Amino acid sequence: MILAAIDIGSNAARLLITETSVYKDGSVDFTKLNLLRIPLRLGFDVFEKGCIGDDRKKALIDTIKAYRLLMDLYKVEGVKACATSAMRDASNGTEILAEIKKQTGIEVNIITGQEEANVIYETHIAEKLLSDKSYLYIDVGGGSTEVTLFADNHIVFKESFNIGTIRLLNNKVTDEQWEHMKWYIKTYTKDFQPLEAIGSGGNINKVFSISKRKEGKPLSLELLKDYHKELSNNTFEERKHLYNLRGDRADVIVPALQIYIAIMRWANAEEIYVPKIGLADGLVKILYKELSSH
C-alpha cells in the first residue's frame, strides 16, 4: 500500500510518500519513496500580522496542487494532511484550507499542540527504547515545541509550548513563556533522572549531519552549545557559506539550538539522539492503522 502524509508547518510544508509492506509475523515496514519540503515560511506572516498574506496563500495552494500531482503519479492510496502552529494562529487559516480542499480535494486538518505531540509519539520511537531508562522527546518547529517524557515503559507527559524558531526570530516569545517552560520541564523531569533526550525537526537533523556523527550516536549538550556559539557569531551569509545551509535554514538553526539547549539543561540531559523522524512519519503510521482497521 502506498500512503502519503502532508505536514504544513510554520516554516515549511512537507510531503512524505511511503510504501508499506506487511509480513507474515504481522510486522510492517514503512519505506520512504519520496520526501519533499517547500519552505513556505507561513509563520513569518502569521506571527507578525495574525494572518497569511496573499503571496504565501498562493504559494501554499500551488504547493498542495503540486503534491496532489506527485501523489497521483505515485498512485497513492491514502493521504493524511495536517497543519500546525502557524495555521492554528492564522485568522484566515480555515478559509485557506477550504480553498485547498476545493482546488485539490485534499482535506487538511488543523491539529492542536497536544495532538501534534500525539502524532509524533506515533512514530513508535518508544518501541526502540530501553524500558529501564527515561527519555525526553523534543520536537522543535517554527511555531511551537512539543516535549514528551517516556519513563518506565509509558508516557509520563506530553506538552506543547508556543515557543518556536520563527516566533523567536520575530520576538514573539515572552519571558513568561520561557519561565513557564523552564518550570514545567524542571518540575516534571526531576523524578526521572538520569534521562536522555531524543530530538526531531529539520534543525537538529541538520546539526547532526554537520557534526558527521555516525548514525545512532548521540550529540552531547556541550557540542550543541559549541555549535550555537559558533553559528551565532557568524552572519546569515557566513552560515550559508560555511555550513552549506539553505537560506530558510540559516536563520532558524540558531533559535532552534537555543530551544534544544535550554530544555536539555533544565532536564539535566547530557546527550541527545537524532533518529531523523518527524510529524509526517507519525501521520503515515496513524493513516495505516486507520485503513487497516477497516
Phi/psi at 256 (5° precision): -65, -45
pLDDT at 128: 63
Residues with Cβ within 8 Å of residue 214, at least 6 apart in sequence: none
In whole angstroms, how far apart are CA 267 and each of 145, 178, 271?
15, 14, 11
In whole angstroms, how far apart are CA 82 and each of 9, 47, 134, 161?
9, 19, 29, 18
DSSP per-residue letters across 165-231? HHHHHTT---HHHHHHHHHHHHHHHTTS-SEEEEEESHHHHHHHHHHTPPTTPPEEHHHHHHHHHHH
pLDDT at 153: 77
**Domain assignments of the chain as residue spans, ordered by start:** 2-111+283-292, 124-277
* Average pLDDT of the chain to the nearest whole number: 93
Are the beta carbons of 169 and 252 closer than 8 angstroms?
yes
pLDDT at 105: 97
Bridge pairing between strands 78-83 and 108-110 = parallel
Cell of 249: 535554514
In sequence order, what are the beta bridge partners of 148? 137, 158
pTM (2 decimals)? Answer: 0.92
| Separation CA 250–CA 238 (nearest Å) | 9
Task: Go through 83-103 and write b for each residue having 16 or more CB atoms within 10 A of its CB, e for each that does not.
Answer: bbbbbbbbebbeebbeebeee
pLDDT band for position 133 (cuts 50, 70, 90): confident
| Averaged pLDDT, 265-274 | 96
Residue identified by cell 498574506 is 53
Residue identified by cell 514503512 is 30
Highest mean pLDDT among 51-65, 136-150, 195-209: 51-65
Residue identified by cell 527515561 is 134
Cell of 115: 495532538
CATH fold of 124-277 reads Nucleotidyltransferase; domain 5 (3.30.420)
| Averaged pLDDT, 7-20 | 96
- Integer-rounded Cα Rg, in Å, for the chain is 19
pLDDT at 64: 98
Give per-residue pLDDT as tens, 23-36.
888 888 999 999 99
Q: Which of 227 and 293 is assigned the larger pLDDT? A: 227
In whole angstroms, how far apart are CA 137 and each of 78, 82, 151, 248?
28, 21, 11, 24
Cell of 43: 509563520
Fold match between domain 2-111+283-292 and domain 124-277? yes
Q: Which CATH number fits domain 2-111+283-292: 3.10.20.30, 3.40.50.300, 3.40.50.10490, 3.30.420.40?
A: 3.30.420.40
Q: How many CA atoms lie within 13 A of 190 on its CB side?
A: 5
Q: Indicate whether 99 pLDDT > 60.
A: yes
Q: Indicate whether 117 pLDDT > 90.
A: no
